[in-house]
Chains A and B, each alone.
Chain A
Amino acid sequence: MELLRHDILIVGGGGAGLRAAIAIGEENPKLSVGVVSKVYPMRSHTVSAEGGAAAVIKPNDSIDDHAYDTISGSDWLADQNAVEVLVNEAPTELIQLEHWGCPWSREPNGTVAVRPFGGMKIERTWFAADKTGFHMLHALFQTALKYNNVTRYDEWFATKLLVDDHRCQGVVALELRTGQIRAIAGKGTILCTGGAGRVFPFTTNASVKTGDGMALAYRAGVPMKDMEFVQYHPTGLPGTGILITEASRGEGGILINKDGYRYLQDYDLGQPLDVHDSRHPQKRTMELGPRDRLSQAFVKEQEKGRTMEGPYGDYVHLDIRHMGEKKIDKKVPFVRELCRNYVGIDPVHELIPVRPVVHYMMGGVHTDVDGKTALPGLFAAGECACVSINGANRLGSNSLTELLVFGARAARSAVRFGAEAGDIADDKIIALAEQEQKRIRDQFFQPKTGKERAETIAALRVELTNVMDSGAGIYRNEESLKAACDKLRELKERFERVELDDHSLTFNTELTSVLELEYLLDVAEAITHSALARTESRGSHQRTDYPDRDDEKFLKHSLAYRTEGDPRIEHSEVVITRWPPGERVYGS
């Protein structure tokens, strides 16, 4: 097998991956960079982010306030050294994006505009109307085009990390167009593959969000951290799961139950102000509370029978009518477009049906503040990583900032590592890649011989996502989690009997689907077992059998290690610098 070579390899061409590629181009244009992405970079899920990116820029704001909001938002599970890095480097990164052409919305005087966001005490969310991720991704992609040292492997699907001598030396990837499996060597490999929302049935996440990088690292012995923390966004469209941005609430939208009542006031989120009051919306209050608390309030409201019933599950209403057509078209035009296209309503005149929807993985590949993992030569950034700045609950608009700050840091860190690293063990990694090629051929291109019935991808995927929903949703308990763990064990066994219809080499998306399903199974077991071991409630992880936060035992990160059987769960200390754990107070 031929060996393709780069100094640094990046897996994933979304926001984090492209930011990393550009950082290397800036750092040392002589270094060759390979970007391996299973979709064309501009198709990556960063494109769907809507509301904005947080960074302190205005004179009324302070770095410490951004840090405190993030840490209290995380229910004190974020590593405070990492949060300090985030908030300190955030303004530079967002200005850098501005210099690369990102069309940030502006104030009349030409400076960038900011908007309020959930859990943030001061308005500090930069935005490009309500297509912030789209504009950021395209600005990054188009900027990356000018770096000649960046080679893109568009529509190449990474199947395995090449690890020899306890060091990551590259990846094995399937070139979709030809069906060839290739080895690509790099002295540093950075995983930027995004999250894993597709492990659940109802999600805002694109079909590509299957936890690839998380599972690749996990299989190479790197732990996944804090996987039990799954963010439900409170406002998804029933049925499709399409996201209605938090910016709609940042701009004044309100949530009401079937009686037209602003129910959030019943859940320790403060008191509502009239929508025409000049102080509305109040920061860190009501509709601008954090996502975990709002999604939990929905479930409580549902239990009280105060939500509405629809064909795609219960829902409440998001009301933005009072914003008026002009402001809606200026500030949240995509919300209007999505509602018109996918629900057939016009939010200028009608209420938007919404329900909580799986949106983001706080957990991911365990890294330090430089994106380093426990495996030398392997780095991770963006949603696929857990640095951690998000802890038990991420604040909206911190993730776009995170992928820039830590994408760039991981790149610089990989460059430093690569400069010191020894040569690639060519023969050994080629042998590993050939083994991987054989594994894929034997497992998916040979007819199954056993008597047992063949399994299908779709059936296993449905069972997997359903059990995650019933077992590891907004509220969990020992019983539901154990049932999910059992089911996952069964599904992993049945996975061995999956048969494909498609045995051709050219653009075999059934093959990529089955490999994605295998990743999802790994990510799912890390989620359920980490959740089972955490016998407390914190942030987005709510155990009905352990309803209180337990700092004594669980002011700790969970680390899930892959074994031949169930994952091994360990715990590690949270880094506290200046903000001792306290009560999360909203609505003051």
Chain B
Amino acid sequence: MGASDMSQSDSNITLEVFRFRPDQEDEPTFQKYDVPFNEDWVVLDALNHVKDQIDGTLTYRWSCRMGVCGSCGMMVNGEPKLTCAAFLRDYYPNPIRVEPLNHFPVIRDLVINIDDFLDKLEKVKAWLVPKEERSVSDGEYLQTPAELAHYKQFSMCINCMLCYSACPVYGKQTEFIGPAAIALAHRYNLDSRDGAADERAEEIFSHEGIWECTFVGECTEVCPKNVDPAGAIQQAKVTATKEFYQSMLLPWGNKK
């Protein structure tokens, strides 16, 4: 469909939106809104229509509306989605159920609390710890395109939390570090400039949740940026297992 093929119909589409106002009610409810169906609209456009024209109390986060700021993740008909990239036309004429992302405490309506993730990002040291100190006056670290490609995919995480809401392990045990934080830790572990993989491993393996993570890869499936957190987790596990056996079987060879 090109921009010139836009069709604006007179029909409506129904949103069934999760509502929860903690200062007014104890239990969440669902509220229905009929919004105009526009071929080019995403779910976020429909929510903005509700907010501006129907009900100013509806509460959700959004910002860039181009899939890069990571604010607008919600459950759309039961699947974690960036609502700025979920088109109404893919659901029409059926109603669309919009809920806050699974597995997080709800602050209000569609707004979730992500403090836990931010704490974990800090715990896993998701920043570059240089293998060799270098002063700025000495210029950049050299890194070949191949070395860059080694970790680049894992650096694309926008922290949208879709993977956490899809993760069956996190759903049961929120102590599990979880997909995005592990992917970002792994991103630095794989960076040729970095030297802190050991320090991160302690944190990543601090909770047994990682061993319950299977190859099913729900996180990777829902990732809007093709980060493949499941791949990162499996790679991290292989490295850890290898190092464990090396330290057991070859204690003279791989002592830290």
Give me the interface of A with B, judged by CB distance under 8 Å. Answer: 39-40, 42-45, 47-48, 92, 95-96, 98-101, 103-112, 131, 134-135, 138-139, 142-143, 145-146, 154, 177, 206-208, 237-240, 242-243, 308-312, 315, 334, 337-338, 341-345, 350, 353, 456-458, 500-502, 504-510
With A106-B148, A146-B125: A501-B2 Cβ-Cβ less than 8 Å: no
Does B63 belong to the interface (CB within 8 Å)? yes
What would 13 more interface pairs be, CB under 8 Å, given A40-B118, A101-B127, A311-B6?
A42-B69, A48-B68, A92-B137, A101-B191, A103-B152, A110-B147, A208-B63, A240-B65, A341-B67, A457-B56, A502-B59, A507-B109, A509-B59
Q: How far is the CB of A405 from chain B (nearest CB, A)?
A: 13
Q: CB-CB < 8 A to B147: which residues of A?
A: 110
Q: Which 8 A-B pairs have the closest CB atoms?
A: A110-B142, A101-B128, A501-B56, A458-B52, A344-B1, A502-B57, A206-B63, A311-B6
Question: Can you report 9 residue pairs joining A to B where beta carbons are below 8 Å apart?
Answer: A43-B70, A47-B64, A95-B139, A99-B134, A177-B107, A206-B64, A242-B66, A311-B6, A508-B59
Q: Nearest B residue to A344 by beta-carbon distance?
A: B1
A142 touches B121 (CB 8 A): yes
Does B236 belong to the interface (CB within 8 Å)? no
B40 touches A239 (CB 8 A): yes
A345→B2 CA distance, assembly (Å): 7
Say which residue of B64, B125, B145, B148 sits within 8 Å of A45 (CB atoms): B64
Say which residue of A101, A111, A341, A457 sits within 8 Å of B52 (CB atoms): A457
With A206-B65, A338-B66: A108-B144 Cβ-Cβ less than 8 Å: yes
Q: Nearest A residue to B55 by beta-carbon distance?
A: A501
Which residues B122-150 have CB closer than 8 A to chain A?
Answer: 122, 125-128, 130, 134, 136-137, 139-145, 147-148
Q: How far is the CB of A445 from chain B (nearest CB, A)?
A: 13
A343→B85 CA distance, assembly (Å): 12
A110 touches B155 (CB 8 A): no
**In the complex, which of the residues B69, B114, B142, B144 has the most CB atoms of chain A within 10 Å of its own CB atom?**
B69
The interface size bin for chain B is: 35 or more
Does B158 belong to the interface (CB within 8 Å)? yes
Does B15 belong to the interface (CB within 8 Å)? no
A507 touches B141 (CB 8 A): no
B111 touches A344 (CB 8 A): no
Q: How far is the CB of B152 from chain A (nearest CB, A)?
A: 6
A110→B50 CA distance, assembly (Å): 51
A143→B188 CA distance, assembly (Å): 12
Q: How far is the CB of B239 from chain A (nearest CB, A)?
A: 20
B3 touches A506 (CB 8 A): no
Say which residue of B6, B24, B142 sits within 8 Å of A239 (CB atoms): B6
Does B78 belong to the interface (CB within 8 Å)? no
Say which residue of B71, B130, B157 sits within 8 Å of A39 (CB atoms): B71
Which residues B1-46 have CB closer than 8 A to chain A?
Answer: 1-4, 6, 8, 21-24, 40
Does B223 belong to the interface (CB within 8 Å)? no
A40 touches B136 (CB 8 A): no
Q: CB-CB < 8 A to B64: which residues of A?
A: 43, 45, 47-48, 206-207
A500 touches B56 (CB 8 A): yes
Q: Nearest B residue to A38 by beta-carbon distance?
A: B63
Q: CB-CB < 8 A to B56: which residues of A?
A: 456-457, 500-502, 510
A315→B122 CA distance, assembly (Å): 46
B66 touches A342 (CB 8 A): yes
Does B184 belong to the interface (CB within 8 Å)? yes
Q: CB-CB < 8 A to B141: which residues of A?
A: 98-99
Does B205 belong to the interface (CB within 8 Å)? no
With A48-B64, A103-B152: A95-B71 Cβ-Cβ less than 8 Å: no
Q: Nearest B residue to A98 by beta-carbon distance?
A: B140
With A95-B136, A96-B136, A99-B136: A48-B66 Cβ-Cβ less than 8 Å: yes
A293→B242 CA distance, assembly (Å): 59
Q: CB-CB < 8 A to B109: which residues of A?
A: 507
Q: How far is the CB of A474 from chain B (nearest CB, A)?
A: 20
B3 touches A145 (CB 8 A): no
A10→B34 CA distance, assembly (Å): 42
Q: CB-CB < 8 A to A98: which residues of B?
A: 140-141
A228→B103 CA distance, assembly (Å): 47
Q: CB-CB < 8 A to A457: which residues of B?
A: 52, 56
Q: CB-CB < 8 A to B53: which residues of A?
A: 458
Q: CB-CB < 8 A to A315: which residues of B?
A: 3
B144 touches A110 (CB 8 A): yes
Q: CB-CB < 8 A to A40: which residues of B?
A: 71, 114, 118, 159
Q: CB-CB < 8 A to A106: which residues of B?
A: 143-145, 148
Q: How far is the CB of A59 from chain B (nearest CB, A)?
A: 12
Q: CB-CB < 8 A to B188: which residues of A?
A: 101
Q: CB-CB < 8 A to A206: which residues of B?
A: 63-65, 69
Q: CB-CB < 8 A to B159: which residues of A?
A: 40, 42
B57 touches A504 (CB 8 A): yes
A177→B4 CA distance, assembly (Å): 42
With A47-B64, A106-B145: A506-B22 Cβ-Cβ less than 8 Å: yes
Q: CB-CB < 8 A to B68: which residues of A?
A: 47-48, 131, 134, 334
Q: CB-CB < 8 A to B130: which residues of A?
A: 99
Q: CB-CB < 8 A to A337: which residues of B?
A: 67
A240→B67 CA distance, assembly (Å): 12
Say which residue of A39, A42, A105, A506 sits within 8 Å of B148 (CB atoms): A105
Q: How far is the CB of B147 from chain A (nearest CB, A)?
A: 8
Q: How far is the CB of A497 from chain B (nearest CB, A)?
A: 15
A501→B122 CA distance, assembly (Å): 38
A101→B190 CA distance, assembly (Å): 12
Say which residue of A109, A154, A344, A506 sits within 8 Å of B21 (CB atoms): A506
A345→B3 CA distance, assembly (Å): 9
Q: Nearest A residue to B192 by beta-carbon distance?
A: A110
Q: CB-CB < 8 A to A239: which residues of B?
A: 3, 6, 40
Q: Nearest B residue to A509 by beta-carbon distance?
A: B59
Q: CB-CB < 8 A to B200: which residues of A?
A: none
Q: CB-CB < 8 A to B1: which residues of A?
A: 343-344
With A310-B3, A506-B21: A501-B66 Cβ-Cβ less than 8 Å: no
Q: CB-CB < 8 A to A134: which residues of B?
A: 68, 158
Q: CB-CB < 8 A to B157: which residues of A?
A: 138
A245→B159 CA distance, assembly (Å): 23
A142 touches B127 (CB 8 A): yes
Q: CB-CB < 8 A to A112: which residues of B?
A: 140
Q: How far is the CB of B138 from chain A (nearest CB, A)?
A: 9
Q: CB-CB < 8 A to A100: which residues of B?
A: 127-128
Q: CB-CB < 8 A to A107: which residues of B?
A: 145
Q: How far is the CB of B85 from chain A (nearest CB, A)?
A: 6
Q: How far is the CB of A209 from chain B (nearest CB, A)?
A: 9
